[in-house]
Amino acid sequence: MGGASIFGVDTYLQGTNIRSTGGHWDAFNIAGGCSGMRSLMALLMLSAAWAYLSDLKFWKKCVLFLSAIPLAVIGNGVRITSIVVMAEYGNPEFASKTWHDWSGLLFFFPISLFGLAAVHSLLAGELIWKPSQRKKLVVKMNKSH
């Protein structure tokens, strides 16, 4: 697996199993629910709402929406890499249970949300988290006696 090799962990895929070439831990079976489809669907829904509420042109909204696909792949790749590295250098049982369950919150969602913000900033031509020079909306109320 590509990402884990950066950390010196050699793995190989055998069907739906990720295995350690050194045999340091038992194979991780990638179940259908862990394929990333749920994460992708959640990110697509979030990006659709984000695009809809943005003040971008229509084609830019489409790009923002579709950017959820590569962002989900990247986020899940980092998550899987962290699980395999944790199993190799830490506790395999902890990696397969606790770390597997929590790594989505620690890696997938921050990477995905930051990625959507970065794509939006590129499309908007400005940093969306930095105060802009936009006009402020002021609502004046008439006092009637």
pLDDT of residue 140: 66
Assigned domain for 81 exists = yes
96 in a structural domain: yes
Q: Residue 22 falls within a domain, yes or no?
A: no
Note whether residue 68 is domain-resident: yes
76 contacts: CB under 8 Å, gap ≥ 6: 36, 39, 108
- Mind listing the pLDDT tens digit for each residue in 24-67? 777 777 765 556 788 889 999 999 999 999 999 999 999 999 99
Which pLDDT belongs to residue 59? 96
Query: pLDDT at residue 130 above 80?
Result: no
**83 lies in a domain?**
yes
Single pTM value for the model:
0.75
The number of distinct structural domains making up the chain is 1
Strands 11-14 and 28-29: unpaired
pLDDT at site 37 = 81
- Asked whether residue 118 carries a pLDDT value surpassing 60, the answer given is yes
Q: How far apart are CA 123 and CA 58, in angstroms?
A: 11
Range of the domain at 86: 34-124
Residue 117 lies in a domain: yes
Assess if residue 1 is contained within a domain: no
Yes or no: say if 68 and 61 are a contact pair by the CB < 8 Å rule. Answer: no
Note whether residue 46 is domain-resident: yes
Average pLDDT of span 2-31:
76
